[in-house]
Structure 1
Amino acid sequence: MNKFLLFCLAALSSVAACNNGGGKKSRSVHFRSIESGTLINRGDSVSLAINIPEEIDIDSIVYELNDKHYKTVHDSAAVWLQTAELTMGSKLITANVYKEGESERINTNIVVVASAVPEQYSFSVVNTYPHDAHAYTQGLEFHDGYLYESTGQRGQSTLRKVELKTGKVVQQYDLPNKYFGEGMTIVDDKIVQLTWQEGVGFVYNKNTFDKESEFPYQSSKEGWGICYDGKRLIKSDGSNRLYFLNKENYREEGYVEVYNHKGPVDNLNELEYIDGKVYANIYYSDVIVVIDPETGQVEAELNLIGLLPQKDVTTDTNVLNGIAYDHQGKHLYVTGKNWDKLFEIKMLER
């Protein structure tokens, strides 16, 4: 037998020994449930079970949820994960298995989705008001009897104060040409306005429109919509995330992912906070979704198809965008980019 053949036989024997652990069974541990990426309805319980080879004596298993301690056990019996208090989206599940003076860390994940189909609403038009057909509406607020509006497009972006009944612009600030204006909201005596891809937001004096400061974005790279819940700012960036900003320094302090019963809801655009919920335009859609900001669950959908009469649609008419709410009078206003009308509507349950 030549040396080359002897070498090959020795190599094959070595590989075989490695594959069977030198004659021993595999000592690896792994999740036998649940499969990574499984969709779980919020409120359901999830069985977490780990495969432990018989010859291994475990000391303990420490489970973590999103890198935070969840539960410690001392055997391989299944652990039940409760999801009723979880927010929407992907959740990392980690098991730290301590055995024979060693430890092994294994991961899986689940995706929490809404447990119910969103309630469906249509609408009726209560009042119709004029709206500047050249206003590329990005943000809309109602405050002290006036509409405040942010418009977009570079070289045309503005911040405006508008008479509701006439559509007349009574006060205006023109953004420098390099900025593309986006959503805006009012916080006490300040107006907070976003820009699209410039990575910066502006803070104005509400009465004078004088710019007082600006702030950079953090994890949310773009600015789309923004609203205020009385304690914090809530910001969208075109994804399915809502980011929470400190109202004093505008730093991001967390986020929720927005899901319905089917999966993530992307393209969250202009936002309005109404009675504990976030109303959000879905870009390129005639639908407004109603979101629980604490969990990210879409609770309702408002279908506004046909709101703008076809006779009023021109080549410049763009998508539905702009939600404002009169918290005292309980009036809901909506419009769109380059629409010549603004509508007060009533939601009708289907």
Structure 2
Amino acid sequence: MTYALQLLSLCMNKFLLLIVAALGSVAACNRGEHSTGNSSSQSLRFQTIEPGTLVNKGDSVSLALHLPANASVDSIIYLVDNNPYQTLRDTTELWLKTNEMTMGSKGITANVYKDGAELSASTNIVVIAAEIPKQYGFSVVHTYPHDSHAYTQGLEFHEGFLYESTGQRGQSTLRKVELKTGKVVKKIDLPAKYFGEGMTFVDNRIIQLTWQEGVGFVYNKNTFEKEGEFPYQMSKEGWGLCYDGKRLIKSDGSNRLYFLNKDTYQEEGYIEVYNTKGPVDNLNELEYIDGKIYANIYYSDVIVLIDPSSGQVEAEINLIGLLPQKDVNEETNVLNGIAYDRQGKHLYVTGKNWDKLFELKLLKE
């Protein structure tokens, strides 16, 4: 055998050993092994559910444990995401109900107790939407002028005017705009280091996000005078923002929506957004309308309607063709900006650097 072949053979042998070791590690994780080295604990595992199994919201999942040989138990405590779910004493099988769960991965742990000793096994499921989203079309009710130099990041309708947050470093603004004319009647420029993002109203305040700077701004809604700022926490970026009357809802470009205290701006939880296929990422500009969260999907002509209690996508608005093809180019290829007139029930949308803003009527099946 040549030196080259010997070297190749040695490398292949090492590679095979690494694969065997890796498979052994994976098997150990799936068995829920304890680090105590107790041989009886090494065979405790979930036998009816594979880690990462997709489960439609509303379905029930059978959780059956495989116990060590000749083992008996006093009780089994099941936990979901480290929260107690149910205690069993006469059986090792549990039907886990998902109808009250939010979307996303749910860690499941079974703690088995016998004579003061404890064994544990863990797995997880991923809860996804149970129904295919409804599909909505649209018709254009009115077309209004829009500043084609406005890189739209946030849009709101408030007391007869549009309010808009625009992006790009050195060009980011907060502005008040006449709906019918597109005229900017009040504007402030953000310092050049900030990239403006989503914005919304809370009482007499305007809340505006920045993109990667990790900070949000608070303004007086009438004067645009800055009254304060706040840091981000778990959500590292700022994309979209809306207000449901009780809390702020913030996107960060992932499939998560974070809930912020309306007064302290502290994050107090989040939901993950899923449809029947899996997570819905790139959630961007947000608007809260009649109990649902409307969200632009970045680089998409689709707006999704989200149940804020679960994260399930309930409907999609297909806006392909809204901007005339002759106006579509590299600077205008992003739909972004949703505003709603709650008194008049008017829905407005636009996009980054669009010269038009559209009032839409949704066409529902």
Shift of 1:318: 3.3
Letter of the structure 2 residue corresponding to residue 320 of structure 1: L
Residues 165/33 of structure 1: CA separation in 2 closer, same or farther (3 Å cut): same
Q: Deviations over 1:263-307 (max 9, x none)?
A: 000000000000000000000000000000110000000000000
Matched, 1:282 2:303: no
Are positions 1:122 and 2:137 aligned together?
yes
Report the Cα distance in structure 1 between the residues aligned to 2:65 and 2:364, rounded to whole angstroms.
46
Aligned to 1:203: 218
Alignment of 1:346 with 2:361, yes or no, is yes
What residue in structure 2 maps to residue 39 of structure 1? 54
1:177 corresponds to which of 192, 197, 219 = 192
Corresponding position: 1:88 with 2:112: no
Query: What amino acid is the match of 1:223?
Result: G
Structure 1 counterpart of 2:63, from 21, 37, 48:
48
- Counterpart CA distance in 1 for 2:330 and 2:99 is 48
Structure 1: distance between partners of 2:329 and 2:125? 46
- Aligned equivalents of 2:329 and 2:100: distance in 1? 47
| 1:168 lines up with 2:183 in the alignment | yes
The structure whose Rg is larger is 1
Counterpart CA distance in 2 for 1:171 and 1:336 is 20
Distance in 1 (CA, whole Å) between partners of 2:240 and 2:153 is 7
Matched residue SS, 1:259: coil
Q: Is 1:335 aligned to residue 341 of structure 2?
A: no
Tell me the alpha carbon deviations over residues 307-328 of structure 1, each in whole angstroms, 9 at most, x when there is no partner. Answer: 0011223443230000000000
**Matched residue of 1:53: which SS?**
coil
- Give the SS at the match of 1:33: coil
What is the CA–CA distance in structure 2 between the aligned matches of 1:156 and 1:338, rounded to whole Å? Answer: 12
2:286 to 271, 288, 292: 271
Deviation at 1:25, TM superposition (A): 7.8
* CA–CA separation in structure 2 for the residues paired with 1:316 and 1:63: 53
- Normalised by the size of structure 2, how large is the TM-score? 0.88
Q: Which digits, 9 at most, give the CA deviation of each residue in 1:113-169, with x for residues without a partner?
A: 000000001100000000000000000000000000000000000000000000000
CA distance in 1, matches of 2:106, 2:164: 38
Q: What residue identity is the alignment partner of 2:117?
A: E
Aligned-partner Cα distance in 1 for 2:48–2:250: 36
* Aligned residues between the structures: 327
Equivalence map 1:303-342=2 (5 Å): 303-342=318-357
Q: 1:303 to 1:51 in 2, by over 3 A?
A: same
Q: Does 1:212 align with 2:232?
A: no
CA contact (8 A) 2:40 2:69 kept: no
Task: Name stretches of at least 5 consecutive residues in structure 2 with no aligned partner.
Answer: 1-38
2:206 is matched with which residue? 191
- CA deviations on 1:8-61 (whole Å, 9 max, x unpaired) are xxxxxxxxxxxxxxxx98862111021110000000001110001341121111
Query: Deviation digits for residues 212-267 of structure 1, max 9, x if unmatched?
Result: 00000000000000000000000000000000000000000000000001100000
| Distance in 1 (alpha carbons) for counterparts of 2:355 and 2:187 | 18
TM-score if structure 1 supplies the norm length? 0.91
Report the residue type matching 2:187 in the other structure.
Q
Q: Please give the secondary structure, in 1, of the residue aligned with 2:228.
A: strand
Calculate the aligned-residue CA RMSD, in Å: 1.2
